Structure 1
Amino acid sequence: MKPMNWIKIFPLSILSAEDFLKKIDISGKKLCVVKTEEKFYAIQNKCPHAGAELSNGWCTKGKIICPYHRQEFDLETGRGAPGQGNYVDTYPVEIKDDGVYVGISKPWWRFW
């Protein structure tokens, strides 16, 4: 398993918020964070098909739908729907004592 930098993205008070999709910028990455029924997912924000911001899309049945061409991606795995032949990067999310964190892999050249 790769070493991770855990970055706080929300305070614990976000747990009581309604479901949402939000674009965030952390560690030079633009991510789409999805909250659904007190579970969080973090994926790359840019659709690999046409470059749309997935944070402008919507979610249904564990999938995020791109607002441009309706490409869909599994929130757990990042895999596109059958026949799409593409995927989005996913990032681990953890709820800790003081907030919600996302894990960003440390670059290999910083392992030493």
Structure 2
Amino acid sequence: MSAFVDIGALEDVPVQGARVVRTAQGCIAVFRTLDDRVFALEDRCPHKGGPLSEGMVHGDRVTCPLHAWAFDMNTGQAQGADEGAVRTYPVRVRNGRILISAELMARRAA
């Protein structure tokens, strides 16, 4: 079982919104749904590089603000006719705190 790091309170992320966490692996968008589920995805749309953290959250999907590609936040897969995917990351909520995989906080290998 991998270790997790506390990155903030659930209330720090707006409902149906996101916050960006800078990690050794790059920027990660941490999303909160209407029913307080939390997802962590790569913050870069594979289509045109749009910041998914600025996209619209609807259910367990997020839509890129640049060209409206929608991604399933469970799998990272683009929905509909769009092809592509973004990386997802292990995240959980415990006692009102958001925890993300400690591997993301590790330094990149040289």
Provide the rounded CA distance (Å) in 2 between the counterparts of 1:104 and 1:89: 16
Percent identical residues: 22
- The answer for the alignment partner of 2:75 in structure 1 is 77
Q: How does 1:89-108 map to 2 (within 5 A)?
A: 89-97=87-95, 99-103=97-101, 105=103
1:88 is paired with a residue whose SS is: coil
State the structure with more CA Rg: 1
Task: Give the CA deviation at 1:92.
Answer: 1.4
Give the paired residue count. 104
Does the aligned pair in 2 maintain the 1:5–1:104 contact within 8 Å? Answer: yes
**Residues 45 and 86 of structure 2 are in contact (CA less than 8 Å); yes or no, is this contact kept in structure 1?**
yes
SS in 2 for 1:55: helix
- Stretches of structure 1 lacking an aligned partner (at least 5 in a row): none
Using the size of structure 2 for normalisation, the TM-score is 0.79
RMSD over aligned Cα atoms: 2.5
Give the whole-Å Cα distance in 2 for the aligned partners of 1:81 and 1:40. Answer: 19
Cα separation, 1, equivalents of 2:68 and 2:80: 13
